Structure 1
Amino acid sequence: MRIVFLAPSLARLIPGHPAVFLASGLAREVLLALTRPRACGDAAPDHSRSARSRLHRVLVDELREAPEEPLHLPEPRDDRLQAIARMLHETPDDNATLAELGKTIGASSRTLSRLFRSELGMTFYEWRTQLRIHHALVLLADGHDTTQTAYACGWANPSGFIAAFTNIIGTTPGRYRAGRGTTAHASQLPAVVESSG
Structure 2
Amino acid sequence: MPNIRHTPVAPTGRRPLAPGTGIDAHRHDTHQIAYARAGMLSVTTEAGTWVAPANRAIWVPAGTVHEHRAHGSTDLRLIGLTGNPLGLDRPAVLAVGPLLRELIIACTDDDAPTGDERARLLAVLLDRLRRAPEQPFHVPTARDARLAAVCAILHDEPADGRTLAQLAVRAGTSERTLARLCRRELGMSFPQWRTQLRLHHALLLLADGLPVTVVAHRCGWASASAFIDVFRRALGYTPGRAFTL
Give the TM-score of the pair, scaled to structure 1: 0.64
Structure 2 match to 1:61: 79
Structure 2 match to 1:190: none
Matched, 1:128 2:159: no
Q: Identify which of 41, 52, 56 aligns with 1:21.
A: 52
Question: 2: distance between equivalents of 1:121 and 1:7?
Answer: 25
Matched, 1:81 2:101: no
Q: Cα offset for 1:8?
A: 1.7
Question: 1: distance between equivalents of 2:231 and 2:181?
Answer: 25
Residues 22 and 65 (structure 1), Cα distance of their counterparts in 2 relative to 1, 3 Å cut: farther
Which residues of structure 1 form unaligned runs of 5+? 25-29, 33-57, 180-197
Question: 2: distance between equivalents of 1:14 and 1:87?
Answer: 32
Matched, 1:158 2:224: yes
Question: 1: distance between equivalents of 2:69 and 2:205?
Answer: 18
**Contact 1:140–1:173, Cα closer than 8 Å, also in 2:** yes
Q: Could you say what secondary structure the match of 1:130 adopts? A: helix
Q: Cα offset for 1:5?
A: 4.2
Q: Cα offset for 1:69?
A: 5.9
Q: Identify which of 100, 106, 109 aligns with 2:166.
A: 100
Matches within 5 A, 1:162-181: 162-179=228-245
Letter of the structure 1 residue corresponding to residue 167 of structure 2? L
Question: 1: distance between equivalents of 2:217 and 2:174?
Answer: 28
- Aligned residue pairs total 148
Q: Cα offset for 1:61?
A: 3.3
**Contact 2:53–2:242, Cα closer than 8 Å, also in 1:** no
**Contact 1:165–1:172, Cα closer than 8 Å, also in 2:** yes
Letter of the structure 2 residue corresponding to residue 21 of structure 1? A
Q: Could you say what secondary structure the match of 1:4 adopts? A: strand
Q: Identify which of 202, 212, 217 aligns with 1:146.
A: 212
Higher relative contact order (CA 8 A, sep 6+): 1
Residues 51-109 of structure 1: per-residue CA shift (max 9 Å, x gap): xxxxxxx8523999389865111111111110011110100110011011111111111
**Contact 2:159–2:221, Cα closer than 8 Å, also in 1:** yes
Q: Could you say what secondary structure the match of 2:33 adopts? A: coil
Structure 2 match to 1:8: 28
Letter of the structure 2 residue corresponding to residue 134 of structure 1? H
Identity %: 43
Q: Cα offset for 1:23?
A: 5.7
Larger strand percent = 2
Residues 20 and 118 (structure 1), Cα distance of their counterparts in 2 relative to 1, 3 Å cut: same
**Contact 1:31–1:59, Cα closer than 8 Å, also in 2:** no
RMSD: 3.3
Q: Cα offset for 1:145?
A: 1.2
Letter of the structure 2 residue corresponding to residue 83 of structure 1? A
Larger helix percent = 1
